[in-house]
Structure 1
Amino acid sequence: MQPDLPRIVQRERSIYKIERILEALREPLFSVWLASRKVGNGEPGGAITYGALDNYNCDPVFQYENISSDVFYQFKIDGVSLREFKRERSEEAMLHFSNSIRGPTAIIEELAKTAGALPIGENGFYYIDCENNFPPLQITVGPTVYSIENDKLRIKVEDGYCLLALSPTDEGPTFGSSAWYFGIPLMRQYCTVFDVEKRRIGFAKPIPDETKSSTTARRSTIRSTKSYTGVVPQMTTPSTPTTSGGRGLLFLFSCIIFPIFLHCFGFYFI
């Protein structure tokens, strides 16, 4: 079988472009913070910090997880639990910018039932009372337990009507072969750091709005003047002046590294 030379050449060109972009960054990584509050018109729904950790919106990273895939931001988990329901199994999970957490159908059904949600037909969606304060969803990775609070797992559709931000992988498109796809609920609970060079994902606690400093951290970053569907791109101040074209290149960097990045941000914040 002959190799697909055009595709190989295109792939090599893409890798070369990524390497050139990484060289322009202070560090080969980018950080993502998503607002946990309700976002209003004109307010930033989150920030992307290129080349450094986001020390304005996020505390220091408390845990890194190694990436287990050459293609996706994917890592291994050891189990998920909610109240009395527990699933203890080593599985692949992908960090994914969708508006829900997706997993095996039977497990999602049990989690939804445990949370007190009701199915809406057979389309994989669940209704849940907006005042339902069910316990956190817990994700175990080795000795670390990541907890996602219930307010991150409710999507308000209208007054008194919420959808549960859990859905089965049988519904809708999937990427790769992961059993789990951890979307925006996890990323609203924790700041995430995509460390390209060291092939790992870092997690940090977001800083509450009322305790954020408006001096030192803000001086270390500059923000793009153009927001993208509610998300304010943010990047570190370079050692040499950067033109608006340079910022465009850095914004493209996130698209290359994670092709569905911008699409899912737009879907969630519009």
Structure 2
Amino acid sequence: MSEGLEVTGLVTDFETRRSSIRALHGVSFEVGESEIVGIVGESGSGKSTVVRSIIKLLMPPGRVTEGHVDFFGRSLLDMRERDLRAIRGKEIGFVAQNPFSALNPVLRIERQFRNIAKAHGVDRGNQTRVHAIELLDATGVKDPDRVIDGYAHELSGGMAQRVVIAMALFLNPRLVIADEPTTALDLTVQRQVLDTLTRLTSGSGRSMLIVTHDLGVVANYCDRVLVMYQGRLVEQGPVSRVFVTPEHEYTASLLESVVRPDAAPPGGTATIATAGAGRAGR
């Protein structure tokens, strides 16, 4: 497949002088154009390691030791760092789990947008500011003219994540990678942010690869799902199939662990995964 992302036989190791731990065992999957794919699995299953391996953002001592990652016919793992930096941001946008770790605390928000534009040679002066304000408005940032002149510490968690999403979409990337983008947010804000992210992705022909531990997110927003377990991709397929007739016992156990409405305690709440729905099933 040349029209999208293709990952083949990805192996990632964490090696020190005293030990070597294999974090990913031959992971293979694809993300096609205009497709939203979710990666699910318990903590430590390798979800975030997959996406960081793809775009070579692993922290030492982690490194990819085998496999191929092709993005629209170009091998990302074989690229020089300078060439890969030209793709990150411009063609692949990244939304981190913690928005405050992705924002510079000592620079105004406008300066951070300008730095993105300058890094890719597309800074257009006031047009850059106008475009940034338009994106902030589109992501639901209140009073974007004020926010763009401020600093990250002045933002709530939800607003900061919206700013990060706007930055990830700033250069109109073909693919957006979102690594647990709503973990630190309360439930109401989670839904708002995910609605915004998927609306801006699917409405433009972009693709998205979203890492999450929440099956409800996958059921409601994704076309296909990848199930990770102990560094292995144990199952993948359309949400409408995997969530209704899972083939791997680990997938079945994940689905069984989801709290259903009839299982909620009296007066309590329940996390509901609308199994079998997905974007494609609507």
- TM-score (norm: length of structure 1): 0.26
Q: Which structure features the higher share of strand residues?
A: 1
Q: Which has the higher contact order (CA 8 A, sep 6+)?
A: 1
TM-score when normalising by structure 2: 0.25
Higher helix share: 2
